Structure 1
Amino acid sequence: MAKKTQDSDTQEETSRIVELRVSSDGGNTWGRHKVNMGVDLEESGLRVGEIFKWQD
């Protein structure tokens, strides 16, 4: 049973990764980043000063 728990934890963690539009220059140019929304901000993949918005 422990294996099933690990598999569901991995699946749950993966489902928290989303692709966002990210800008580091105040919105003048945009790139795409995969960000983990299930962890602290420091560990998410975003950097200080970046702004983001959900994909259109």
Structure 2
Amino acid sequence: MSVSADISAHLYDEAVTAFGVEILVALVNLIGQYVNDSALSTCFQVPVLTQHGAA
């Protein structure tokens, strides 16, 4: 989806059937937030924290 920026009508219909429109919108929003966070972390080379909080 990140590459083509499109999904088929069939896949969309299956997702709406499985989750409903409201939950599907919330899921897509959450996924978008994670993609954004990942892009920013990569761009600015934010170190990954260990279990104890040190990089």
TM-score by length of 1: 0.35
Bigger fraction of residues in strand: 1
Larger RCO (CA within 8 A; separation ≥ 6):
1
Rg comparison, structure with higher value: 2
Instruction: Report which of the two has the higher share of helix.
Output: 2
TM-score by length of 2: 0.36
